[in-house]
Structure 1
Amino acid sequence: MVFLRLFQESLRFALHALRVNRLRTFLSLIGVTIGILTIVAVFTIVDSLERNIRESVESLGSNVVYVQKWPWGGGSGEYKWWKYFQRPEPDFYEMEKLEERLSTVEYIAYVFGVNQTLKYGLNSVERVNVMCASHNYNRIWNFELSEGRYFSDLESRKGNPIAILGHDVAEGLYGGADPIGRDFSVLGRKLRVIGVLEKQGQSLVGQNMDGAILVPIKYVGNLMSLKNQNGGTIMAQAKEGVEMSAMKDEITGAMRAIRRLKPKADDNFSLNEISVISNGLDSFFAAIGLSGLVIGGFSILVGGFGIANIMFVSVRERTNQIGIQMSLGAKRHFILSQFLLESVLLCLIGGSLGIAMVYGAQLALPYIMGEMDFEIYVSLKNVIQGLSISIVIGLVSGFLPALSASRLDPVEAIRSGQ
């Protein structure tokens, strides 16, 4: 009860001092507000960037291994690009052989892409990524259809001339018309539209399904060779309960057997997985977070010096008042808490204004910049961090002025006002 009464009295004195000196309060708030605005904005941008990138990376699948020519992240040690360059591309026929041999894999698929121009009447869309995919591609790479359906097993095996369009491709070819059942031409051949993908936007790992189309790989195999296609990828998803290491070991052994590699020969393929990117992201965002903390720290340091300066001025102006309070029985810790509370309140108000400005910017950005693939959000963690930093800065900035006020001699303090 004594503590609560002391806190209540100190809070009342602090609020009165802030109301009386409104101009000084306003000037003090500017520095703290800018400091907290900077540090919370940096944390928010870094956290939003990390969240968006990690969501894009997770779309690759945490239990999926990608058999490719090039390693992600350059592999371990020196990046031997000349060695990787000589490797053959994984192809569809190797995927079929793997499907027969692997026991740890739930689904396996193959995909490669080529850029082509699509035409429908007078409309055309250039540089469309035509993704030639095997049947199980949709089971490994998750995507939603806004209209139509995916290829049936029979259509995939026969290689029917059908396609699923990305959102932007459908808009470019057909405008507002319903594309389902309509034909379009590519390389002088007609394909029929059976589905349209939901609009997704470009992910931060470079995947853009809106500007792509899906066609059965067996259809493409009737037109061109499926051997050594640039960017060819075999995707293997592990069965439930199977360790990734066990699946990778089985794939490695099967691929070496398919390519007839000698026991002492190096692998001429790479097994990539999401953990390679995730581990790189951990160190990357740790460095960015530290940089953001340093940048924001300098900004809040300036605001802290401003608060300390204002509090020293406040102590000097109220020296006579402090002497009267102490002569009437006010303890030193009461004077100390009074000025500390005033400093903390200043920083909390400034910090709250800074956080409110960041939140307002978050709400205003979509209206200013239009639709964005990059989502910015102010998390509860960032709000708590901002307020916590405000309290700490208030305590640190106000401690010396409050300590000097509590150590004043009552008689000398009263005389100074005469």
Structure 2
Amino acid sequence: MKALRLTLESFRFAWQALKANLLRTILSLLGVTVGIFAIIAVFTVVDSLEANVRQSMSFVGDKVIYVMKMPWTFDQPDYPWWKYFGRPVPTVREYNDLRKSLSDNNRGVAVFASAGGNTLRAGNNSMESIALQGVSYDFRKVSDLPIAEGRYFTQREVESARNVAIIGADIASNLFPNSTAIGREFKAKGQRFTVVGVVQKEGKKLLDTPSNDNNVVIPFETFTKIFTLSTGNGFGITPTIAVKGKEEDEGLLDLESEMRGLMRNIRSLRPREEDNFALNRPEMLGNMVGKLFSIIGIAGAVIGSFAMLVGGFGIANIMFVSVKERTNIIGIQKSLGAKNYFVLFQFLFEAVFLCLLGGAAGIFLVWLITLIPQETLPLLLSWSNISLGLTVSVVIGVLAGIIPAVLAANLDPVIAIRAK
């Protein structure tokens, strides 16, 4: 009860001080407002950038291991490409051997390949430079392919190499502008395809990464009838083998170990021979992105902290003036039995309250910026950043108000009452 009364009284004093010297208080709070705005704006932009970049890379999937020729490396300044150039590329035969030999320590094994620069025609409408992607039936288990309309391939359609297709949202709107695309036909590479599904629209991405909006997905066996695949010598289109791991396999260590052993056996490598294949995981790219944006966030926070420092000095100035103006009141309170801690917390709460006002104003300004429509980089103010802003405001309030509060608590009541 005493703590509640102390808090309410402190808020009342802070509000009275704010109203009595409105311009002075606003100018002093402006430093906290600008500081919180700078810090939270930086973190909001960094979080939004990271989320957008990760979304742009969603095509690589999550908890997936890719069997490829070249390894993914992001921390090597001199990439030894010549070391991997002569390696054989993955083949369909290796995919079949791997799929049959893997244990149940996975959620799906898929093979896929892509060929760009294709022209699609449907009636009088056409689109150029479109990618055709051939996928096996389990592709939807290893990669994100949200169907907005229609359905995914059936296993019979994949195995019998039917001319069916799942098209992107932009392709559907351009080839079939006035009707649904499901059940309609288009022509590509001299073949007629029937649309069975339309992928959910992704929209613009910050990075120029492959998008499902302008992509056509067809059964892998159908793809092999149209395009020539590489058989290991590098000539033709190179397929990619992907294996989806299970959630309980932390770090996919068990799956990666099993795949390495099977691939070495499939390629008849001797025990002392190096791997002539690469097992790549999207986590490598995700970790690199996380480190990059962590550095950017820290740099932005350091810059914003200078504005917070100025704001803290402004609040400290208000509190010193407030102690000076209310010296008589402090003396009366202490003469009536008020303890030192009562006076201490009274001014400390006042400093925190003023900083919270400035911090809330800064967060409000950041929220207003997030309301501006942004198609490429939509900004989102997260609850964690709001909590961070309020926490920083409280800390600055404590640091700025502790010295004035201690001075007020240690005032002699007799001398304080006589002060003018």
CA contact (8 A) 1:165 1:196 kept: yes
* 1:404 aligns with one of 404, 407, 415: 407
Corresponding residue for residue 44 of structure 1 = 44
Corresponding residue for residue 257 of structure 1 = 265
Give 1:382 deviation, angstroms.
2.0
Change over 3 Å in CA distance of 1:151–1:61 after alignment to 2? same
Which one is further off, 237-246 or 208-217? 237-246
Change over 3 Å in CA distance of 1:230–1:201 after alignment to 2? farther
Q: What are the residue-to-residue correspondences of 1:4-403 with 2, within 5 Å?
A: 4-53=4-53, 60-74=60-74, 79-104=79-104, 105-115=106-116, 116-201=118-203, 206-227=209-230, 228=234, 229-230=236-237, 232-238=239-245, 244-319=252-327, 322=330, 331-362=339-370, 364-365=371-372, 368-369=373-374, 371-372=375-376, 374-403=377-406
Question: What residue identity is the alignment partner of 2:259?
Answer: I
TM-score between both structures, scaled by the size of structure 1: 0.85
- Deviation per residue, 1:21-61 (Å, 9 max, x gap): 11112212222111112222223333344445556667744
Change over 3 Å in CA distance of 1:398–1:230 after alignment to 2? farther
Question: What residue identity is the alignment partner of 2:93?
Answer: Y
The SS at the match of 2:178 is coil
CA contact (8 A) 2:6 2:346 kept: no
Change over 3 Å in CA distance of 1:403–1:218 after alignment to 2? same
Change over 3 Å in CA distance of 1:174–1:23 after alignment to 2? same
Change over 3 Å in CA distance of 1:22–1:119 after alignment to 2? same
Which one is further off, 406-415 or 306-315? 406-415
The SS at the match of 1:151 is coil
| Separation in structure 2 between the aligned mates of residue 160 and residue 71 of structure 1, nearest angstrom | 34
The SS at the match of 2:165 is strand
Give 1:343 deviation, angstroms.
1.6
CA contact (8 A) 1:18 1:342 kept: no
| Number of aligned residues | 412
| Separation in structure 2 between the aligned mates of residue 20 and residue 27 of structure 1, nearest angstrom | 14
Question: What residue identity is the alignment partner of 1:213?
Answer: V
Change over 3 Å in CA distance of 1:319–1:111 after alignment to 2? same
Give 1:401 deviation, angstroms.
2.6
| Separation in structure 1 between the aligned mates of residue 259 and residue 344 of structure 2, nearest angstrom | 70
Give 1:416 deviation, angstroms.
5.5
Question: What residue identity is the alignment partner of 2:138?
Answer: N
| Separation in structure 1 between the aligned mates of residue 401 and residue 265 of structure 2, nearest angstrom | 72
CA contact (8 A) 1:202 1:210 kept: no
CA contact (8 A) 2:107 2:141 kept: no
| Separation in structure 2 between the aligned mates of residue 360 and residue 11 of structure 1, nearest angstrom | 27
Change over 3 Å in CA distance of 1:4–1:193 after alignment to 2? closer
Give 1:380 deviation, angstroms.
2.5
- Deviation per residue, 1:212-246 (Å, 9 max, x gap): 11122222322332114456310123478777333
| Separation in structure 2 between the aligned mates of residue 321 and residue 241 of structure 1, nearest angstrom | 65
The SS at the match of 2:226 is coil
Q: What 5-or-longer segments of structure 1 have no aligned partner? A: none
What is the alpha-carbon root mean square deviation over aligned residues? Answer: 3.1
| Separation in structure 2 between the aligned mates of residue 96 and residue 234 of structure 1, nearest angstrom | 10
CA contact (8 A) 1:238 1:247 kept: yes
Question: What residue identity is the alignment partner of 2:383?
Answer: L
Which one is further off, 1-10 or 188-197? 1-10
Which one is further off, 68-77 or 115-124? 68-77
CA contact (8 A) 2:168 2:198 kept: yes
The SS at the match of 1:271 is strand
CA contact (8 A) 2:14 2:354 kept: no
| Separation in structure 2 between the aligned mates of residue 96 and residue 106 of structure 1, nearest angstrom | 16
CA contact (8 A) 1:351 1:390 kept: yes
Give 1:411 deviation, angstroms.
5.8
Q: What 5-or-longer segments of structure 2 have no aligned partner? A: none
| Separation in structure 2 between the aligned mates of residue 10 and residue 164 of structure 1, nearest angstrom | 65
